[in-house]
A and B are shown apart, each in its own frame.
Chain A
Amino acid sequence: MADSEAILAPQEPELRHHFDDSAQQLEASTLGMWVFLVTEVMFFGGMFGAYIVYRNMYPEAFASTSHFMNVTIGAINTGVLIFSSFTMVLAVRSAQLRQKKALIAFLILTLILGCVFLSLKYVEYHEKWVDHHIPGPGFQYADPRYFHQAQILFYLYFAMTGMHAIHMIVGAGLLITLIVMAARNRFSSGWYTPVEMIGLYWHFVDIVWIFLFPLLYLIGHTQ
């Protein structure tokens, strides 16, 4: 408690009257953010569940589709996303130390890395488009035995990575908001709750990818 007050300014105008102190207010925000993130865990959990069920139903079809996943881009994107989590955590740290320039720099760096991730995702999706691996009437598959089952797995691939990409786009919008807020000195008083909360969101999206990458790209690759 004593440590927190040393960093969070006691005179802050952002303290709402129904909280005892800024530490309690931050704790309430953190808990609320985690409640939201738990709903996100359940949301992605449903898709992971569907993936696991179909993978168990059609293991051979799954193994054949995994050869069409671009492991190189997937691995690079994992590194990019982990790097962006690192810069995000440094942005939160800069906000704690009230270093405005460093905060803006790290937020912009995080945003750029998020855009790099989405650009590489676009390259991958385009590859799938060119190869006719998008489920639907135009779908073509090298192995006719798995024509239908492979579509289920490509559908899951697009649903899961697509939903993840939408979360990245939302995260990019939130980062832009933070950059504008930081530039307008909103965090100069030592109140930086939005930076910390959006940081939590950004790390959560990173964790989803940490599980998507091995499941979609790596497993079944040697079979």
Chain B
Amino acid sequence: MSHQVVPVKVYAAIFGALLALTATTVAVSKLELGEYNFIVAMTIAVIKGTLVVMFFMDVRRASSMTKLFIGAGFFWLAILLVFLLSDYLSRGWLLNIHWL
């Protein structure tokens, strides 16, 4: 783990980017984009979250072991959400199959 001190302007740039993305997500939410509202809002949230994890939490300089643990954590979260939705979103689909 290297612990060189990061210049303030790097943190300030990330801070500015996070504020700009917040303003963007609020502005986009006022537009009628149908289902793209959800996609845009979540994409911006993921970008913001990644910036915080990589720069403020300094994961970009963390050890491979720490990165593996974090990756495993989010992979398990993905399992939770994907399997949950594969159940709820597909309910009732079989009712439309008449040859069964």
**Residues in chain A within 8 A of chain B (CB atoms):** 1, 3-4, 7-8, 23, 26-27, 30-31, 34-35, 37-38, 41-42, 45-46, 48-49, 52-53, 56-57, 71, 75, 78-79, 82-83, 85-86, 88-90, 93, 96-97, 199-200, 203-204, 206-207, 210-211, 213-215, 218-222
* Cβ contact within 8 Å between B2 and A3: yes
A219 to chain B: which residues have CB within 8 Å? Answer: 29, 37-38, 41
A41 to chain B: which residues have CB within 8 Å? Answer: 73-74, 77
Count residues of B near A (Cβ-Cβ below 8 Å): 51
* Cβ contact within 8 Å between B56 and A30: no
Q: Could you mark each residue 42-85 of chain B with 1 if its beta carbon is under 8 Å from any beta carbon of chain A, else 0? A: 10110011001101110000110110011011101100110011
B26 to chain A: which residues have CB within 8 Å? Answer: 71, 75, 218
- Whether B95 is near chain A, meaning CB under 8 Å from some CB there, is no
B97 to chain A: which residues have CB within 8 Å? Answer: none
* Cβ contact within 8 Å between B37 and A222: yes
- Whether B100 is near chain A, meaning CB under 8 Å from some CB there, is no
A23 to chain B: which residues have CB within 8 Å? Answer: 1, 3
B65 to chain A: which residues have CB within 8 Å? Answer: 27, 31
Q: Specify the main secondary structure of chain B where it touches its partner.
A: helix
- Whether B94 is near chain A, meaning CB under 8 Å from some CB there, is no
A26-B1, A82-B19, A86-B15 in contact; A31/B37 too (CB < 8 A)? Answer: no
Q: Specify the main secondary structure of chain A where it touches its partner.
A: helix
A96-B5, A222-B29 in contact; A49/B48 too (CB < 8 A)? Answer: no
A3-B3, A53-B88, A56-B89 in contact; A218/B25 too (CB < 8 A)? Answer: yes
* Cβ contact within 8 Å between B73 and A38: yes
Instruction: Give the complex CA separation of A82 and B11 in angstroms.
Output: 11
Q: Which of B25, B32, B66 contacts A30 (CB 8 A)?
A: B66
A42-B73, A210-B49, A214-B29 in contact; A79/B56 too (CB < 8 A)? Answer: no
CB-based nearest A residue for B57: A203
Instruction: Give the complex CA separation of A117 and B55 in angstroms.
Output: 22
* Cβ contact within 8 Å between B69 and A35: yes
With both chains docked as a complex, state the minimum distance between the C-beta of B97 and any C-beta of chain A, in angstroms: 21
* Cβ contact within 8 Å between A93 and B29: no
- Sampled A-B contacts (16; CB under 8 Å): A26-B1, A35-B69, A37-B73, A38-B69, A38-B72, A45-B80, A56-B89, A79-B19, A82-B18, A86-B11, A200-B57, A203-B56, A207-B49, A210-B52, A213-B45, A219-B29
* Cβ contact within 8 Å between B37 and A52: no
- Top 3 closest pairs, chain A to chain B, by CB: A38-B73, A218-B29, A214-B41
* Cβ contact within 8 Å between A203 and B52: yes
